[in-house]
Amino acid sequence: MKTKTKLIVMAVIIMAGITTHCTRTVKEGGPMPLSSIDEASKNQVILALKEKYGDDQAFRIERGVSQAAGFWNDSDGTMEDFKTFCMERFIADEDELALVFNRLSAALESLFGSYNKISVDLKIPIHVPIGPILPVDEILGGYSPGAHFADDMFGNKLAFIVLLNFPFYSLDEKIELGDDWNRRQWAYARMGELFTSRTPAALNQQVSRTLTDADNYITDYNIYMGRLRDHDNRQLFPDDMRLISHWGIRDELKSNYSAPEGFEKQKMIYEVMLRIIRQEIPQDVINNDAPTWNPFTNEVFKDSEKAAGEREPDTRYQVLLDNFRVLYATDPYQPFYPTCIQRAFDKNMEIPQREVEELFMALASSPEVKMAGELISLRLGRPLEPFDIWYDGFKARSTMNEEELSKITRARYPDNKAFEKDLTNILVKLGFNRDSALSITSRITVDAARGSGHAWGAAMRGEKARLRTRIGPQGMDYKGYNIAMHEFGHNVEQTISLYNIDYYILQGVPNTGFTEALAFLFQHRDLEVLGVGEKDPMAAHLAALDNLWSNYEIMGVSLVDMRVWKWLYDNPNANAAQLKEAVLRIATEVWNSYFAPVFGVEDSPILAIYSHMIDNPLYLSAYPVGHLIQFQIDEYMVGKKLADEVYRMYTLGMIIPRAWMKQAVGEPISIGPTLRAAQEAAGVVR
């Protein structure tokens, strides 16, 4: 399943002055100098403002002038122009500052909301199956309507007004000071983060095009499962089964734990995954139903005759490399967060990267994971295989026939409009009163997805969030429904955190992990909503084990993702073949460190299969953080009304994760609750 929360991506891009996706497209002569103001001149301006307004304003003067000076270059004026600007535009009066903040907030909602709407509209032919994707669709889909925002705002000096009057705080400062801030102080701090870079518009457009190309590559990466053959030339999958990599083929693997010939199907899917990772997959079998393919031998047949089967060139890794290069090129324009890794963690996630990595390593090496692995092996009656990282036997649906579930979902949701019409009833079943449910769902629209599905939120009040999932000609199958429930959770967060927030600039959540938390919470209640949930006294214990195992798997994938990006920064001139070898090596090292001791199998590169690694850079860590948050929220909500707590928590807005969690559930993000619950569950389930 592909959960791509477009609102979060879009909001982060915009709030960063279109700089979340950073590039270093090396030009002759190098990047334009960010600043032409020397230290002595800057200090003269600071001294002059202190003399004018007194020491009470010392902090804001020092930081504001330094921030503005950091981006002022010759195109903005002379040193005297800079001094004049600071003397005239520094706002010492609190009432005037509040008025300016309010005016800016209203303008930003209009601007960002309009940019978002344009992006949604232009990408519809790419994201929604309304016909073939035309060359003009790809061009328009790659267009970034907000690409000139930062350039324009620096050009008209509004960016300098913000830099001069709203201090930027580092993550360390927000951690230290944030507990004592009121809502307006948080809002002012977020305003101070509006212009953290001065990336040229041409680079922003290049970023948008490159990431759209990567998205298109993954969206069209389908495997025709009915064309696969085993050693005995047997066909194990239906003729019409066409699955996207990696989400679709992974979910098919998961669904076969209780299916006839399930183990044989899983082994075949695993071989497909290995061919993709190693770039051994024949080009002709990607998104093509003409040839048959034996993934075990890698032989391709056309019209019963063996064909050449030329492998896909290292396209997968070239796409990843293109993303890195386009994201690497704006580093010189982003002094507050000078690397993409820092922007992904200190800026976007607002949890230090090393802290995230240590959290993941601690869970992946815990004795509870080994205990869960032993329990899974007992339940399967065989030694673990590498693909058992996706073991699905702790979920209620894993004991049920998926085709029977699909019959229910297809009958109930023959098309996107049927699902959209039922959204209100779904929320009522989850505990929302009908008025609240209607208020939320009136602001959500449902589309069929060309890819696996995603949620794209509105960025201004008056617009609707978009829910997208795959819907076949016969209606929404169970996989599509399960994905839709996940994306619906995103939409609910996106809607509440926009329409019910006190300050627009605080709309949203601290990072994608928090919207993933609500999405997982909805997804895990899919059978309950469908009316086929099993009253299993072991359900809570099974859920605890499932949460642990899911975290274990995705944390391993995230460790690979982080280490690949560190390698890219150490080897920025690498080619696609070198990157492929590095990814395979890193994935194998992570496997051998954290998975081989549990599985008893060494040297598997399977952790490198995730498509998000290719088309959504440094996004993967949001998932395990979301799992941890979701489990903590679930625990906290026992005995409480889900709807009330969702409203309370998701109107906290975009403060830092540590502060959000303390206010929401009373403790920071931790693996402790997950490990404790799993340890207890393993003893009971065994």
Q: What percent of the chain has pLDDT over 90?
A: 78
Rounded CA-CA distance 236/243 in Å is 14
| 30 lies in some domain | yes
pLDDT value of position 453:
85
Q: 15 falls in which pLDDT band (50, 70, 90)? A: very low
192-222 confidence digits (pLDDT tens): 999 998 888 788 889 989 998 999 999 999 9
pLDDT of 17 > 60? The answer is no
pLDDT value of position 260:
85
pLDDT value of position 32:
55
Rounded CA-CA distance 445/422 in Å is 11
Least confident of 14-28, 635-649, 670-684: 14-28
Encoded tokens for 605:
């590169």
- Let me know whether 340 and 299 are in one domain: no
> Quick one: average pLDDT of 9-21?
35
| 501 lies in some domain | yes
pLDDT value of position 390:
97
- Let me know whether 328 and 284 are in one domain: no
Q: 516 falls in which pLDDT band (50, 70, 90)? A: confident
Cis before 246 (ω within 30): yes
pLDDT value of position 142:
85
- Let me know whether 472 and 552 are in one domain: no
Q: What's the distance, CA 513 to chain centroid?
A: 8
Q: What percent of the chain has pLDDT over 70?
A: 94
- Let me know whether 569 and 671 are in one domain: yes
Q: Which residue, of 464, 499, 530, is where some domain finishes?
A: 530
Contact between 160 and 89 under an 8 Å Cβ cutoff? The reply is yes
249-275 confidence digits (pLDDT tens): 999 999 999 888 999 999 999 999 999
- Let me know whether 189 and 42 are in one domain: yes
pLDDT of 316 > 90? The answer is yes
- Let me know whether 526 and 542 are in one domain: no
Average predicted confidence (pLDDT) for the chain:
91
| 207 lies in some domain | no
| 634 lies in some domain | no
Place of tokens 């607002």: 350
- Let me know whether 381 and 450 are in one domain: no
CATH number at residue 505: 3.40.390
- Let me know whether 352 and 301 are in one domain: no
pLDDT value of position 21:
30
| 466 lies in some domain | yes
287-311 confidence digits (pLDDT tens): 999 999 999 999 999 988 899 889 9
| 209 lies in some domain | no
- Let me know whether 603 and 483 are in one domain: no
Q: Which residue, of 259, 294, 313, is where some domain finishes?
A: 313
- Let me know whether 501 and 382 are in one domain: no
pLDDT value of position 51:
96
DSSP labels, 129-141? -SSPPPHHHHHHH
pLDDT of 12 > 50? The answer is no
- Let me know whether 545 and 436 are in one domain: no
| 625 lies in some domain | no
pLDDT value of position 9:
38
pLDDT of 400 > 80? The answer is no
Q: Which residue, of 514, 530, 546, is where some domain finishes?
A: 530
pLDDT value of position 396:
53
In sequence order, the 6+-apart residues with CB closer than 8 A to the CB of 43 are none
The full 3-state SS of 561-599, as one line of letters, equals HHHHHHHHHHCCCCCHHHHHHHHHHHHHHHHHHHCHHHH
| 678 lies in some domain | yes
Q: 231 lies in which domain range?
A: 217-277+280-313
pLDDT value of position 10:
37
Count of the separate structural domains present in the chain: 4
Least confident of 424-428, 519-523, 604-608, 647-651: 519-523
Rounded CA-CA distance 492/292 in Å is 43
Rounded CA-CA distance 63/290 in Å is 64
Instruction: Kindly give the pairing relationship between strand 242-244 and strand 222-224.
Output: antiparallel
DSSP category for residue 1: -
pLDDT value of position 19:
32
Q: 2 falls in which pLDDT band (50, 70, 90)? A: very low
- Let me know whether 298 and 366 are in one domain: no
pLDDT value of position 399:
58
pLDDT of 11 > 50? The answer is no
pLDDT value of position 1:
40
Tell me the whole-structure pTM to 2 decimals.
0.80
Q: What is the tally of helices (H) and strands (E) in the chain?
A: 31, 8
